[in-house]
Amino acid sequence: MLLGLTGGRLLPSPRRCLLHCRHIKSAATAASGVGDGVLSAFRSICGEDGVSLGEAVREQHGKDESVHRCRPPDVVVFPRCVEEVSALAKVCHKHRLPIIPFGTGTGLEGGVGAVKGGVCFSLRNMEQVLDLHPEDFDVTVEPGVTRKALNAYLRDTGLWFPVDPGADASLCGMAATSASGTNAVRYGTMRENVMNLEVVLADGSIVHTAGKGRRPRKTSAGYNLTNLFVGSEGTLGIITKTTLRLYGIPEAMVSAVCSFPSVQAAVDSTVQTLQAGVPIARIDPEFLDDVMIDACNRFSSLSYPVTPTLFLEFHGSEQSLEEQVKTAEDITQSNGGSDFQWARDTETRNRLWKARHDAWYAALALRPGCKAYSTDVCVPLSRLPQIIVETKEDLIENRLTGPIAGHVGDGNFHCLMVVDPNNPEEMHRVHLFTERLARRALAMDGTCTGEHGVGLGKRALLCEEMGPVGIQVMRSLKDTLDPNSLMNPGKILQREEP
Amino acid sequence: KCPRVSPVVTLCYCFVSPQIRVKPDNTGVVTDGVKHSMNPFCEIAVEEAVKLKEKKLIKEVVAVSCGPQQSQETIRTALAMGADRGIHVDVSGKDYENLGPLQVSKILAALAKQEDAQLILLGKQAIDDDCNQTGQMTAALLDWPQGTFASEVSLEGDKINLVREIDGGLEHIKINTPAVITADLRLNTPRYATLPNIMKAKKKKIATVKPADLGVDLTSRLEVLKVEEPPQREAGMKVETVEDLVVKLKEAGRV
């Protein structure tokens, strides 16, 4: 994830895809992949309103917030409960129709594109929060429940779900992409916070990955099916319920900002603060490089020094916060940090973090009329300064605009590539750059995607990352669970053409 | 010299549901099984009261809610946000269905006298009935000044400076205490109730009273005749040319 805001906030409606859809079949031939018999079977399952062939609806469900062009499905269905999902899946299975699950369409890797047409299962009508157990810190939700909707529901209980990828994403969708967020350093990613899933497989069978209704805080019962499906991006099954781990809302929060003379100094401070950290600082540092800070200064009329900057947040009780802030301040100073500012109350904190929140827009404002694409590599902490320095040199050498923002505590950073989509030469340069960046990360024992997933664009890189044996194991699992290759074709694994 | 006021904050126990359904007999909307929680504008009012107490401008915050047993939960939330104690005015069954702004304002006026309150803070309107009447009626019954749609509140001696959001812009007024203030959206951002505060709130007291104890007559002056859903949106129609469009509009009697 990206900084607190993604392109999803920039344009609330996904109608942007109209600009990109160049190969849309007209409504008359839309259902060419789906016969009338199948359509009436769908209608008898989810009602007349639950099946749509409309061009606008299909386009809306063929695109997410990435730069990948719109690939609309042949038909969109809107099931209302898991039984309907299962019945629809059985129909698709019988007629060998591809199935593409759709949550909120806020993904960043083209995961919902129907590359082979087929049936999009839009799960937004399944929007119940089920089974909240405040005393056990868990809750079960359906796919239509988004992160913000859940946190609003939980307000009065003093609990929250802290994984925050920026967009107001479907929680089941976040499970499907193994989403992460700015709080991952402290609270973990979806992998650590999903306790159980209800999944509909390609043949319509319904599986509960930890057993139906079970929610123990830990288990060693059998294979870890839950984490098999977390991050499977819809290629192994449709997630229809997820049981999540909740946390207490922090009593108090303090935000701080500090500038550093170099990337190395910023990262060193982070590492040392984390190392000092067991009883005290639990930090969520956000790192903005000098190009980004400059953009933010210009966009938001701020005046941060134009050098690498860390934004930190501390959660805890009133007493522990003072201590944490003092320790962090000492560490940053010993690393050459300056202009350490911190704030306790909401209004001042928001002002301090304004730069970070507006970073996406600030990056776009650097080159009006352009689009933004975010890279997503993640490396071990100790390699972060080196990869950022090398990446910046690469950007300058290739005349690319790419302000950097990162979750320093995780070793994960994003280059916001601001590109002109109508300039094929530039797009090509960006593409090559992102490949070099991914390979640089892989060479440093890292991964090509820390948060966003593989989707359409990183399948080849996944092969390099996992190696042939790893990919073969993944393929065997896929072939076992989805022998007809119906679940979200074209994602994660490259298919050998038959 | 700052006034040591004891404000009374009233909460609405209203229902929050994405899909409202009308009851089959058209007498109202379905409320069974629908999630109820504190009215958002009332949350803002509670937050403002707690902020004033934190600034030591007022002595005590009392949270009040009128409704069935479950409305005690919203009082607990207010206590977790920082209110000192709660009063639950027990109204249930048919009385609760007929409970409207006039009855609530009579109850609040009676409580204000009983508690010797100097300031009543409410949300500007409830999001289930959108009446926007209770604050104003309460002020009238008590013959107190009112500052409604407040987006900024500051105490100055025994007067209150208020900024009101009105259609034409922002209105600055100064009113005497005791007074009634209703909170608008931009007054503040309500805090979350944290777990430790929720635990502490369990020890705070909620007193229960009946409207009759306050000498309030709950008979409604209004009778709901019918509640019905808005007409279903009909399918649109595509036409090929502007001339067709004009013909269709004329047919439908629109031009």
Q: Do the chains contact at B193 and A249, CB–CB below 8 Å?
A: yes
Per-residue pLDDT tens for A16-58?
333 333 333 344 344 456 888 999 999 999 998 899 999 999 9
Distance CA B43, CA B9 (A): 10
Query: CB burial class (10 A; 0-12, 13-18, 19+) of residue B133?
Result: middle
Distance CA B192, CA A87 (A): 41
Per-residue pLDDT tens for A98-140?
999 999 999 888 899 999 999 999 999 999 999 999 999 999 9
A57 chain-B contacts, CB cut-off 8 A: none
Q: What are the residue ranges of CATH 1.10.45 in chain A?
A: 458-498
* Residue found by looking up tokens 């805890």 in the block: A316
Q: Do the chains contact at A156 and B73, CB–CB below 8 Å?
A: yes
Contact status of A249 with chain B (Cβ, < 8 Å): yes
Nearest by CB to B194, from A153, A249, A346: name it.
Answer: A249
A132 chain-B contacts, CB cut-off 8 A: none
Q: In chain B, which residue's Cα lies nearest the Cα of A151?
A: B192
Q: For the structural domain made of A8-122, what CATH number should be given? A: 3.30.43.10
Q: Do the chains contact at B37 and A156, CB–CB below 8 Å?
A: yes
Residue A240 neighbours by CB under 8 Å, 6+ apart: A82, A85, A123, A126, A142, A143, A172, A198, A199, A200, A206
Per-residue pLDDT tens for A184-236?
778 889 999 999 999 999 999 999 999 999 999 999 999 999 999 999 999 99
Contact status of B197 with chain A (Cβ, < 8 Å): yes
Q: Do the chains contact at B193 and A158, CB–CB below 8 Å?
A: yes
CATH topology of domain A458-498: Vanillyl-alcohol Oxidase; Chain A, domain 4 (1.10.45)
Which of helix, strand or coil describes residue B79?
helix
- Which is it for strands B119-123 and B7-11: parallel, antiparallel or unpaired? parallel
- Which is it for strands A238-245 and A138-141: parallel, antiparallel or unpaired? antiparallel
Contact status of B77 with chain A (Cβ, < 8 Å): yes
Contact status of A334 with chain B (Cβ, < 8 Å): no
- CA A73: distance to chain centroid? 22
Q: What are the residue ranges of CATH 3.40.462.10 in chain A?
A: 250-454
Distance CA A395, CA A375 (A): 13
* Residue found by looking up tokens 């008590």 in the block: B142
Distance CA A258, CA A309 (A): 6
Q: What are the residue ranges of CATH 3.30.465.10 in chain A?
A: 129-248
| Closest by CA position to B86, among listed B200, B208, B182, B196 | B208
Which of helix, strand or coil describes residue B82?
coil
Return the beta strands (E) in chain B as ranges.
Answer: 7-11, 13-15, 36-38, 62-67, 85-90, 119-123, 146-156, 159-166, 169-176, 179-183, 206-209
Q: In chain A, which residue's Cα lies nearest the Cα of B75?
A: A156
In angstroms, what separates the C-alpha of B215 from chain A's closest C-alpha? 33
Which of helix, strand or coil describes residue A217?
coil
Nearest by CB to B198, from A127, A158, A346: name it.
Answer: A158
**Superfamily classification of domain A250-454:** FAD-linked oxidases, C-terminal domain (3.40.462.10)
Distance CA A321, CA A331 (A): 15
B35 chain-A contacts, CB cut-off 8 A: 153
Q: Do the chains contact at B192 and A159, CB–CB below 8 Å?
A: no
Degrees (nearest 5) of the Cα angle A117, A122, A126? 160
Distance CA A493, CA A475 (A): 7
> Number of Cβ pairs closer than 8 Å across A and B?
35
Q: Which residues of chain A have pLDDT under 50?
A: 1-31, 278-285, 497-498
Q: Do the chains contact at B192 and A155, CB–CB below 8 Å?
A: yes
Residue A313 neighbours by CB under 8 Å, 6+ apart: A253, A254, A255, A256, A283, A284
* Residue found by looking up tokens 């404002």 in the block: A365
Contact status of A156 with chain B (Cβ, < 8 Å): yes
Say if residue A468 is preceded by a cis peptide, omega within 30 of 0.
no
pLDDT tens series, chain B, 255 aa: 334 455 666 666 665 555 667 777 877 777 776 777 788 899 899 999 999 988 888 888 999 998 888 888 889 989 999 999 999 999 888 888 788 889 999 999 999 988 888 899 999 988 888 889 999 999 999 999 999 999 999 988 889 999 999 999 999 999 998 999 999 999 998 888 888 889 899 999 999 999 888 888 888 888 888 888 888 888 888 888 889 899 988 988 887
Contact status of B89 with chain A (Cβ, < 8 Å): no
Q: In chain A, which residue's Cα lies nearest the Cα of B40?
A: A152
Distance CA A114, CA B71 (A): 48
Degrees (nearest 5) of the Cα angle A115, A118, A122? 100
Distance CA B215, CA A149 (A): 42
Two tokens, residue B77: 């939330």
Q: What pTM, to 2 d.p., does this model score?
A: 0.81
Q: For the structural domain made of A129-248, what CATH number should be given? A: 3.30.465.10
Q: What are the residue ranges of CATH 3.30.43.10 in chain A?
A: 8-122
Instruction: Choose from A145, A156, A350 for mutation: most chain B CBs within 10 A.
Output: A156
Interface of B with A in 14-33 (CB under 8 A): 18
Q: Do the chains contact at B193 and A156, CB–CB below 8 Å?
A: yes
